[in-house]
Structure 1
Amino acid sequence: MNSSNMDEKLNALISALPDAIEPSRDLWPDIAARIRAVRKPAQVITLVSAKQVKLPATSTGRRAGSIWSKRPAAIAAALFILVSLSAALTILSKQPGVSEEGWTVTGIAGAPTIGRIGMNREGAIGVGEWIETDGESRAQIEVGNIGQVELQPNSRVRILRAGADEHRMALDRGGINAFILAPPRLFLVETPSALAVDLGCAYELTVDERGNGHLNVTAGWVALEFHGVQSLVPAGAACVSRPGSGPGTPYFLDSAAEFQKALSDVDLGHSLDASLPELLAASRVRDSLSLWHLLPRVARDQRALVWERLTELLPAPPGVTREAVLNLDRPVLDQLKEDLEQFWF
């Protein structure tokens, strides 16, 4: 057989191939189950944002020696992950299955109840309804097509909205583990002390008998908000919220114990003259997350101390001045945050 005949035969075989091959069943449930199975409480998964993928400053100082300047491949990999994730989210957001009426619930253990009715293996929860677990039960809630929420034992949540533009629930007590792949601010959880705003992430959120909330983020970001106060909590960090005062200052779980103790005292207003110097002395570069959040939350003279510690840990980026920070100039504070973010991951 000459090469011409071989080409013709090959072209005929290629033309006979189907344009697409549909699987015999929906593969996403198995994929989601495998993702949940490999997640561990202590594991931190970092999802990069567009602002985090940036070249280091060219000025002298420690920033010029960051890992990004030494690893150009890391930038390319991060951009690839970002583009792939954005594409996946776009596909998911266009899939059918988002209901204005409610979500699917699966019992994992024990006998969860919807309202006052015990559910079987699977059920549905509508807007306005409560789902509760006792000490022996757990349940998984499918949040439309954007992710899952696992309801821990002794917990109670109510569905407030289940629409294409917003998914919202209220956590009255107990805890949830949320795993969400969605555009920012599409999934929200109300608690007695703050609103948890998902920015594309995985996290654990608990509420105790006094209404205090505790957030632990394992992937991406979560914003805790209350009456104009906002705490931005990245992967590896936690934040406590209290009824009436809202979210406290976020902190990394690997920070020193004395740092966390002093930060709690500062948030509660206990002996600031003693606790703030203790906090600053125990802070490291990564704790700039907490120091940045403290800037607008303390008095001007205390703000000056926080600024001085920040500049001891890292040189201020161009355009960020002491006076502008002390005056709480919003664009300058945002610029400072963007510069510090590279040390939070």
Structure 2
Amino acid sequence: MSGHDDYLWTKAGRDREIERLERLLAPYAHRPHGLPPAWRADRGSPGPRPARRARTTLALAATLAVCALAVTLLLQHRLAWPDGEAWQVLTTTGEVRWQDGPTPGRLAPGGEIVTGEQGRARLRVARIGELWLGADSRLRLEETRSGRHRVRLLQGRLRARVWAPPLHFGVRLPGAEALDLGCEFVVESDAAGNGALTVLSGWVLVDAGAGEVLVPRGATVPLRRGAGAGTPRDLGASAAFVAALQAIDARGGRVPPAGEQVRRLIAASRPQDAISLLMLLQRHPELAQGPLYDRLVQLLPDAPPVAREAIVRRTPAALDPWWDALPYPRAKRWWLQWPDALPATGTESG
């Protein structure tokens, strides 16, 4: 055999070892139209051509636009409600009866639902949420249309869970009105209008005629017929703090800035009690002349400076830096409370 007529040069004859190598190297043979499959798999293919990249971008943009449109339509449907359309009663237990209503299972404007000693009821608030009526309670539906839904709790216990823009839903009481700002809350009241409101998420605006009170998540406010809403307080406030706060609320008039009640309140205060001190300062600007102002400076150290004189003079928005420094979501950002749009877990015990 010459030096140039063996299998390596002419493929004449058979050389099993070289044939095996050829099979292994075949994917890497020269190809005039692109890389071999193994090379593309191991080394990665070239980046997409400009036309393909443009098509991908357009497809992604179209998908996002469709999603945005779907969300918008879903939200519009959720907030829309025919004027006077009855609400659905989802479940009842124990003694539950309807008064002035067309049929059981629906609550129309002007109709009332009444629960007995062991009665419970769960209703859908149009399409924006649900409410639970506890035992020995009486509820009337007074208004319902797109953007405005109002019930009156004549007595008993009500829990509402709503996801909607501020003021869409409200609960009227004998001496006040609780306006939802996108939240979940519980309100209790006797027939005279004495009770309390507790916020579980978001904010509630309580309008008691003599003034408005903002109540944030994790706080409660007393309701008193003839005296309106008291000062909201954190649910974890100490007994000493609550007693001092109630004593100040009971005065009804001017509060001495350096009085004993104020000093006891400050001594029992924690960072979580800043909401109460700030509300007192808003109601009684004269308190800025005493130690309550200094305590708020300590509790809200990261807030921009608030001038003592501006508070005393009742300068508009003087307290805004302190309000903004409170550790709560802003009241107008109702959409951040999106979990309230989901079905509640568990049951309402009433």
Tell me the TM-score normalised to structure 1 length: 0.68
Contact 2:285–2:311 (CA under 8 A) maintained in structure 1 = no
Q: CA deviation at 1:209?
A: 4.3
Contact 1:191–1:211 (CA under 8 A) maintained in structure 2 = yes
Q: Distance in 1 between matches of 2:220 and 2:261?
A: 20
Aligned letter for 2:214? Answer: L
Structure 2 CA distance for partners of 1:299 and 1:219, relative to 1, 3 Å: closer
Could you report, residue by residue, the CA deviation over 1:146-172 in whole angstroms, capped at 9, with x for unpaired residues?
A: 000101010011111010020000011
Structure 2 CA distance for partners of 1:299 and 1:317, relative to 1, 3 Å: closer
Pick the aligned partner of 1:241 from 215, 218, 223: 223
Could you report, residue by residue, the CA deviation over 1:283-337 in whole angstroms, capped at 9, with x for unpaired residues?
A: 1112110011001323615753321221233337335211112222221212321
Contact 2:79–2:147 (CA under 8 A) maintained in structure 1 = no
Q: CA deviation at 1:241?
A: 1.3
1:217 aligns with 2:203: no
1:164 aligns with 2:146: yes
Pick the aligned partner of 1:109 from 84, 93, 96: 93
1:281 matched to which residue of 2?
267
Q: CA deviation at 1:139?
A: 0.8
Structure 2 CA distance for partners of 1:110 and 1:97, relative to 1, 3 Å: farther
Contact 1:92–1:145 (CA under 8 A) maintained in structure 2 = no
Structure 2 CA distance for partners of 1:126 and 1:178, relative to 1, 3 Å: same
Contact 1:99–1:144 (CA under 8 A) maintained in structure 2 = no
Aligned letter for 1:276? Answer: V
Higher mean C-alpha displacement, 263-272 vs 328-337: 263-272
Q: Distance in 2 between matches of 1:292 and 1:281?
A: 15
Contact 1:113–1:119 (CA under 8 A) maintained in structure 2 = no
1:177 matched to which residue of 2?
159
The alignment partner of 1:185 has SS state of coil
The alignment partner of 2:164 has SS state of coil
Could you report, residue by residue, the CA deviation over 1:235-292 in whole angstroms, capped at 9, with x for unpaired residues?
A: 1111111112211111111111110111111111189733221111111112110011
Contact 1:89–1:182 (CA under 8 A) maintained in structure 2 = no
Aligned letter for 1:92? Answer: L
1:92 matched to which residue of 2?
75
Q: Distance in 1 between matches of 2:96 and 2:289?
A: 48
Point out the structure with max Rg over C-alpha: 2
Pick the aligned partner of 1:325 from 308, 311, 323: 311
Q: Distance in 1 between matches of 2:83 and 2:99?
A: 19
Q: Distance in 1 between matches of 2:267 and 2:149?
A: 42
2:135 matched to which residue of 1?
153
Structure 2 CA distance for partners of 1:182 and 1:343, relative to 1, 3 Å: closer
The alignment partner of 2:317 has SS state of helix
Q: Distance in 2 between matches of 1:290 and 1:131?
A: 35
How do 1:47-196 and structure 2 match up within 5 A?
Answer: 91-95=74-78, 98-101=81-84, 102-115=86-99, 123-196=105-178
Could you report, residue by residue, the CA deviation over 1:216-235 in whole angstroms, capped at 9, with x for unpaired residues?
A: 11111111112251111111
Q: CA deviation at 1:141?
A: 1.3
Q: CA deviation at 1:108?
A: 2.2
The alignment partner of 2:127 has SS state of coil
1:311 matched to which residue of 2?
297
Q: Distance in 2 between matches of 1:321 and 1:284?
A: 22
Structure 2 CA distance for partners of 1:238 and 1:134, relative to 1, 3 Å: same
Tell me the TM-score normalised to structure 2 length: 0.67
Structure 2 CA distance for partners of 1:340 and 1:95, relative to 1, 3 Å: closer
Q: Distance in 2 between matches of 1:308 and 1:96?
A: 45
Q: Distance in 2 between matches of 1:146 and 1:214?
A: 24
Aligned residues: 259
Identity percentage of aligned residues: 33
Contact 1:103–1:144 (CA under 8 A) maintained in structure 2 = yes
Could you report, residue by residue, the CA deviation over 1:153-193 in whole angstroms, capped at 9, with x for unpaired residues?
A: 10011111010020000011001111111111100000112
Contact 2:300–2:325 (CA under 8 A) maintained in structure 1 = no
Structure 2 CA distance for partners of 1:161 and 1:342, relative to 1, 3 Å: closer
Q: Distance in 2 between matches of 1:282 and 1:255?
A: 9
Q: CA deviation at 1:89?
A: 8.5
Q: Distance in 2 between matches of 1:189 and 1:329?
A: 32
Contact 2:293–2:308 (CA under 8 A) maintained in structure 1 = yes
Contact 1:219–1:234 (CA under 8 A) maintained in structure 2 = yes
Return 5+ residue gaps in structure 1 as ranges. 4-83
